[in-house]
Amino acid sequence: MGRFLVCVHNYIMQSSQELEFKIKQLMLDLMEVLHKNGIQEVHMGGMMRLLGVEEDVAKDYDQHRIKLSKSFADTVQEFEKHQLLPTGTVLH
């Protein structure tokens, strides 16, 4: 029974890590599209809503913004180069 619980726990942790990686990747992809289209400031509450975050949570971030520098695309490429994929990730 104990081994089963460890397997389930590892699966949940792995799924959580995969989800976190996918969310970070989605956010970077959105910011990259905005940057390519001349947007230099990203509204975090709005981005969270685009990703399906509940209104009650997203509204807490309406005053937060991220400024995208001229070198933002280079920063994203560097991040992606060093980002490790969680074990068992399948790329489509």
Angle made by CA atoms 18, 61, 67, in degrees to the nearest 5: 85
Q: Which residues contact 30 (CB under 8 A, 6 or more apart)?
A: 42, 47, 50, 51
Write out pLDDT tens, residues 17-34: 777 778 888 888 888 899
pTM of the model: 0.62
Write out pLDDT tens, residues 50-66: 888 899 999 999 999 99
19/13 Cα distance (integer angstroms): 10
Q: Are 88 and 17 in contact (CB under 8 A)?
A: no
Count Cβ atoms below 10 Å from residue 47 Cβ, excluding itself: 20
